Structure 1
């Protein structure tokens, strides 16, 4: 501790002055969509373990502790505070610029916010800069300036790095404080961590919540958080020779651990040069005097121990503080750990899964102290592992700084996307994994979306990626005949339309939702009839072959495991080829990822994916034939390959004849639209990515891509926002009232940028990507990247999976 590790902040962070608001942050397009406002910071916590978020105000305000559920609320008692004394003067602050709005903790003094203006100035009557927040996932920093005499920095991180399938699952956060005395006199500092006992809060009080159709056609269910229900909660002091902390748990009567049950722990190191103080039972709903009176006076706490459990309508908090004196020029580094152990995720009532981290700790829910102790033992190694992983990317001189920043920060969704990661089983040796499509469309791993958004998972955690694809392979043969209302027709005022939930052979859209049985009950969304979609089957085949190729091209068993599902879904998709010309047609209802956009006949988007999928299936069959895997009957494999070759030959001719207009590929063959679809050649991008034959001639692909760049990006709002999904060649809308065509989809843009790089248009790719990144990170959308933004400053569908497609740019760069 007396020889602190260097706390150098990389120069590639997203950063913002502490507490500085936004003049005109983006707001939601539809009132029914979630809009928490711009105060989002980098999340803390392992994949599938639940996570918390702390914003650039310093408040802890994001609580994704219940798997798949979103709670955004500043819980003010969860906070760091600092006391400083030098000579005859002293000061103390709770280190959030957002004081509680409910009148609680009124005895506390809150840290001053920065005001707009030049950083570094704090002149009377002038601009105020009180510090800077930095984020480069999974690390973030608070740098406190111009208020304290000491130089004070807090680095936050969880143990997340590529190809790490153990610590990446841990429910823990490390807060590494670095204090330096740059004055010529001694300074005494005390750092306090307070935490509210929230055991039991994070579960749905409604065990069979009602599902209804929202005004945007999406299914939603009721969720009642047990916020504030603390009866039976207690806190105790825990320590050993090395560490000391407060353990927050609940009184149980030897019953099985339920969702929401468990423990929390705040802890720190012991050291001979440091005094430790504590308080195990204070009232977070009161004025906070029992802590603040002594802390603001001299940086101490009363060392009060009381393990009495909370009665009804009572709240209990715990606190630890460390006090030390720095001589002139001296520095000290101090770690705090925050851990939580909520081992169970419940889907529908009674359907419980244990979280992945329970493979390394037991399933009692009493492990928060053990997890925190592990963090205090390993934090230096963890930080070193993160740096080792990130450094080669950060050191690349050919990558612009803003791209390095966005590459890592867009990974936030792997932590805070309602992420599930189950404990290992014989069938799934590293567990099952899933990330929500987004917070508004709350179902897992939407296949059309992850065609783009799964590149990050594939490149960094390939075994998790394969586990998701295996789940889809298992689901394709399944059926569910239950009829459901299709929400799209509800939104356009049409007659009620119903459809079966899942037809055997159809590739499901998603792996289910948190209120049912994820991985087992698929196709949760009912906005459209996903059994009719013309891209999902192709998406599945392409992702299977992609995951095989880009993870070493040696896991033939993975291909064999997926082969029957490939055959079934291609056969199913071919049934939509109504005229027998080899290529399925779109039906006129929105039946693909742009699910508000009607395509009719052969379409550039779905047709191109179909051709690429046939090429991938042929390549897979060759590998299986060569390795004698995946089919007892090699003659059957050969017949299937021959069938796909016939379909492919037919499809290529039809695609060109019906869609090429001499400059770009038409939206479809029957609508008569002249719209330039931005993502018209996604199939060509995938074919080239996977080393398959081009689905169109290279010069035509280049012409189409240049047309997209010119019409959808440069001529759409002068290239400020990114590429719109579909506009006329002059950049104007075909229908000014259309939804999807005039939106800029963040993930689609990153996919198009990867295609631009692939086709040798690197400068154009960077300009397009930078425009989108700038909109996200300059306008309060950080760490909640939406699916769509509009030129009027609105967004739709925050915390969206598809945006991790930015890693596709890095893959091909």
Structure 2
């Protein structure tokens, strides 16, 4: 399975885009995630409980989780658990490309245009949909309004907005997502007039300034198919808060502004600022438009979108009557009632506040016009985690500081000015993949759209705080890259709130390595520092039911902390079991260092010098295992090669090499079966086929610059024929076998003995991990099994994105019975490893 034909809905969406008369950079790309607004998806349900025969192993830990941890955390400490096993993230097949840069907070959007899934407080998500956050279109002909709608697709429920008309024929609107951009086409029910909205966030690979900015831009193009000139007005409305009850706590205010262009080259902007507190932290929203030669900008400074319909109705009526709002700055002739709109008084308890900005332009008959440019900015400069022990500043404040108003307006003007550069850079990034005819079409969508998690991951990018002093007392950590990057971390998942979980980051790190390598280096330094530190605070580990120190010296921590606690200071927030004894974390760190050293030569000298001096945790392994022993073997070989370069002691390098050779002989003798490497030698799963059994070999193989190179080319880590046979076995047993049928990608565990099919004795064995599927497909490509590789990866992507409707919230796992686990997860970023292997094999 390499390419499913388009569904009827995808074909209809493509047809709507093809109707547009767009040229040049306005033309939507030929590839991306497509949907009409009427699209429906096959039902799927979240994972709630294991199968009955799987419960016995989990009963004790589950009870301890509930009574010793969960109830205390939720109801006594009033905090969110790092994993909430009882309350799942809402499953809604509605999401589109998110807004914002890296580590600055994110605002989600649905593919039908709604604003939802706000992540402004570090690491914490709110899933409400504020109704007032929307666009409004007004069409006028011969001085009168002929059409006006809010571009939302359900009736307004708030009393204040009940007078606003909403809705368009859903089959006449379509969405195309290609992160970090999206395109939405609206075919209005008025004489074939069409609108095209292009949404852009400043994600620019290797640009470490612009890519951290908390902004998004919306450009609108109008196609007038009528024989008469039309006046088209587009209005952007946005309210305070993030859709929770705290929005009506009071204390929010609006500040209208107009900033003219000047000699610094920054364009003018007109709009409104919403000043507020979110979780006790000052936050300012900026909603603005850029005036053009053929357009005018007016604003509606403030209205209550919740309970008071007076000003909301006046806004709506003003658009119907004039196609405009109020000119800013106000003229001397402004009425007293209009003047009151500009008063900056704060809201009272029970009130909310919104602002709106409108761009009006004339569109000649039978022509198209670039009608409007809007910017949304959110400036939350100083942040604390829940424990409040450290005050940090976000990275973008290096360049945008001063008062809340000054910094937000500067962000907006800078974004308008930089937009052409961003469009060009993003287009070049996209085209490096889209124009490669050797890649499958579906993959051209997958590699960018899975990258949504770069920004929509609860990520934080910070300066300041004591934890930014990563220099040890002996002066060991002296890498300039770390000083430049500050602190960066991102959540394991929207439901698994632990920062930079390392065993999963090893897969996801390929996205950073390819696009933001300095951030990958910075994360490595943070884990290195955590490994040499020690925290003997006693923690009760729920699975093993023992109490030990939180973090032992020279043991790589599982994660960098919980946003509901104090990350970077207290690591290892995963209290299910002590990760000090895990056998995969330290080898994964060694292999990541090796890969970074091989593929990032500009960082290799200091980095390697600093770095030189287990996670399938619900699927037990006994004795020697293919996965962990393979990691150890690969780490030994990598260490031998690195120590030969980084150490003057050649004897040390030889010792590592001899140890690796001895381990290799034992590995082959004990685990090779002729068809695969045994899962383990002493447990009940020793006949299971594990998809990811050659993870260590894969890390070494993909760390080479080209396809021909291997570690120890004359003496490879494993016989290449053994690797190829193993991958063929994995494909046959874990993808094609009965119960899988090749349509859902690659599952973690399969049975080698009859009957072939899913391994149901363990939860994780019967799951398909999306990121692992991409990683194993990468190794298949490296092994010359292109057809099998693309079949596995395509099945995974098509199931998650187009069957289940989990676009822009890719879960950790899916099951063959249409369940899923852990929405919004980091491991699928491993798709970038698949791209690297595809390019190597093609060359």
TM-score (norm 2): 0.83
What is the match of residue 180 of structure 2?
A: 138
Q: Indicate whether 1:13 and 2:59 are aligned.
A: no
Alignment of structure 1 residues 601-616 onto 2, 5 Å: 601-616=623-638
Alignment of structure 1 residues 199-238 onto 2, 5 Å: 226-238=246-258
Aligned length, in residue pairs: 727
Q: Distance in 2 between matches of 1:4 and 1:661?
A: 58
Q: Indicate whether 1:368 and 2:408 are aligned.
A: yes
Q: Which consecutive unaligned segments of at least 5 residues does structure 2 have?
A: 1-21, 50-85, 262-266, 328-337, 469-479, 704-709, 839-843
Q: Deviations over 1:520-552 (max 9, x none)?
A: 322111122111111000000000111111112
What is the match of residue 744 of structure 2?
A: 721
Q: 1:487 to 1:378 in 2, by over 3 A?
A: same
Deviation at 1:76, TM superposition (A): 1.1
Whether contact under 8 Å (2:228, 2:364) holds in the other structure is yes
**3-state SS in 1 of match to 2:483:** coil
Q: Distance in 2 between matches of 1:363 and 1:49?
A: 17
In structure 1, which of residues 166, 175, 184 is the aligned counterpart of residue 227 of structure 2? 184
What is the match of residue 835 of structure 2?
A: 810
Deviation at 1:651, TM superposition (A): 1.3
Q: Distance in 2 between matches of 1:20 and 1:403?
A: 21
Deviation at 1:26, TM superposition (A): 4.8
Q: Indicate whether 1:279 and 2:300 are aligned.
A: yes
Whether contact under 8 Å (1:663, 1:703) holds in the other structure is yes
Q: Deviations over 1:243-280 (max 9, x none)?
A: 3433324389xxxx996313111111223432322111
Alignment of structure 1 residues 34-49 onto 2, 5 Å: 34-49=89-104
Whether contact under 8 Å (1:197, 1:315) holds in the other structure is yes
Q: Indicate whether 1:157 and 2:200 are aligned.
A: yes
Range moving further from structure 2, 12-21 or 536-545? 12-21
Q: Deviations over 1:378-430 (max 9, x none)?
A: 21221111112221211100011110101001110010100111138776212
Whether contact under 8 Å (1:40, 1:55) holds in the other structure is yes
Q: Indicate whether 1:669 and 2:690 are aligned.
A: no
**3-state SS in 1 of match to 2:26:** coil
Q: Indicate whether 1:441 and 2:496 are aligned.
A: yes
Q: Distance in 1 between matches of 2:249 and 2:646?
A: 56
**3-state SS in 1 of match to 2:351:** coil
What is the match of residue 423 of structure 2?
A: 383
Q: Which consecutive unaligned segments of at least 5 residues does structure 1 have?
A: 115-128, 203-223, 490-495, 565-591, 626-633
Whether contact under 8 Å (1:436, 1:443) holds in the other structure is yes
What is the match of residue 122 of structure 2?
A: 67
**3-state SS in 2 of match to 1:270:** coil
What is the match of residue 268 of structure 1?
A: 289
Q: 1:699 to 1:370 in 2, by over 3 A?
A: same
What is the match of residue 648 of structure 1?
A: 660
Q: Deviations over 1:667-710 (max 9, x none)?
A: 11111521111111111212222332433211111111110010
Deviation at 1:7, TM superposition (A): 1.1
Range moving further from structure 2, 455-464 or 347-356? 347-356
**3-state SS in 1 of match to 2:176:** strand
What is the match of residue 220 of structure 1?
A: none
**3-state SS in 2 of match to 1:428:** helix
Deviation at 1:770, TM superposition (A): 0.4
What is the match of residue 154 of structure 2?
A: 98
Whether contact under 8 Å (2:758, 2:766) holds in the other structure is no
What is the match of residue 326 of structure 1?
A: 363
In structure 1, which of residues 751, 764, 770 is the aligned counterpart of residue 788 of structure 2? 764
Q: Indicate whether 1:682 and 2:695 are aligned.
A: yes
Q: Distance in 1 between matches of 2:700 and 2:357?
A: 57
More helix by share: 2
**3-state SS in 2 of match to 1:717:** coil
Range moving further from structure 2, 409-418 or 328-337? 328-337
Deviation at 1:510, TM superposition (A): 1.1
Whether contact under 8 Å (1:675, 1:734) holds in the other structure is no
Q: Distance in 2 between matches of 1:771 and 1:29?
A: 24
Deviation at 1:664, TM superposition (A): 0.9
Alignment of structure 1 residues 183-582 onto 2, 5 Å: 183-198=226-241, 226-241=246-261, 242-250=267-275, 260-286=281-307, 287=309, 288-303=312-327, 304=338, 305-333=342-370, 334-347=372-385, 348-362=387-401, 364-366=403-405, 367-423=407-463, 428-488=483-543, 496-552=545-601, 555-564=604-613
Whether contact under 8 Å (1:38, 1:780) holds in the other structure is yes
Deviation at 1:497, TM superposition (A): 3.1
Range moving further from structure 2, 327-336 or 608-617? 327-336
Deviation at 1:306, TM superposition (A): 2.7
Range moving further from structure 2, 228-237 or 157-166? 228-237
Q: Distance in 1 between matches of 2:615 and 2:730?
A: 19
**3-state SS in 1 of match to 2:525:** helix
Q: Distance in 2 between matches of 1:296 and 1:526?
A: 58
What is the match of residue 110 of structure 1?
A: 166
What is the match of residue 75 of structure 2?
A: none
Range moving further from structure 2, 132-141 or 641-650? 641-650
Q: Distance in 1 between matches of 2:758 and 2:224?
A: 63
Whether contact under 8 Å (1:259, 1:345) holds in the other structure is no
Q: Distance in 1 between matches of 2:377 and 2:718?
A: 53
Q: Distance in 2 between matches of 1:618 and 1:311?
A: 67
CA RMSD across the alignment: 2.3
**3-state SS in 2 of match to 1:476:** helix
What is the match of residue 705 of structure 1?
A: 727
Q: Distance in 1 between matches of 2:790 and 2:427?
A: 25
What is the match of residue 585 of structure 1?
A: none
Range moving further from structure 2, 409-418 or 181-190? 181-190
Whether contact under 8 Å (1:197, 1:248) holds in the other structure is no
**3-state SS in 2 of match to 1:765:** helix
Q: Deviations over 1:610-665 (max 9, x none)?
A: 1111111111111113xxxxxxxx44xx4543442343132112211211112111
Deviation at 1:91, TM superposition (A): 1.4
Q: Distance in 2 between matches of 1:185 and 1:358?
A: 48
Q: Deviations over 1:295-324 (max 9, x none)?
A: 234422245423222122221111111122
What is the match of residue 107 of structure 2?
A: 52
**3-state SS in 2 of match to 1:555:** helix
**3-state SS in 1 of match to 2:644:** helix
Q: 1:80 to 1:615 in 2, by over 3 A?
A: same
Q: Distance in 1 between matches of 2:729 and 2:245?
A: 50
Q: Distance in 1 between matches of 2:280 and 2:656?
A: 48
Q: 1:282 to 1:22 in 2, by over 3 A?
A: same
Q: Distance in 1 between matches of 2:602 and 2:184?
A: 43
Q: 1:658 to 1:251 in 2, by over 3 A?
A: closer
Q: Distance in 2 between matches of 1:6 and 1:684?
A: 42
TM-score (norm 1): 0.86
Range moving further from structure 2, 308-317 or 151-160? 308-317
